[in-house]
Amino acid sequence: MGCQKIIVTNACGHSMAVSYAFCGGNHLNNPDTNRACYDITRPIVSLKKIVRYAIGREFCGPACRALHQGWYCCTCNHLPVRGYLDQDNRMVVHQTCLGAVHALCTACLM
């Protein structure tokens, strides 16, 4: 059957911790052997072997929170906006109705 992977995440879904639950198999019950067991059996089993637990309502940081909940853009007189991650410059931005792009900054409000 194989060991199970346990992923603990914060509110935004980013991983905070990973552990491996003992399957009761013929190996020692410790983090190294549990992970080895998981890695060996992973290709032949379904995704049911991965369990995710979300703990708390905290985010990685302001940019992550803005991506999930939106923010009040300082350039738009603190109107509420929803944005996206600009892949070219790795900044959280939103596009105005006129096509301008505004970046999340420290003057923006959450």
The 10s digit of each residue's pLDDT in 61-103 is 899 999 999 999 999 999 999 999 999 999 999 999 999 999 9
When pLDDT is cut at 50, 70 and 90, the band that residue 44 belongs to is: low
Q: What's the 3-state SS for the chain?
A: CCCEEEEEECCCCCEEEEEEECCCCCCCCCHHHHHHHHHHHHHHCCHHHEEEEECCCCCCCHHHHHHHHCEEECCCCCEEECCEEECCCCEEEEECCCCCEEECCCCCEC
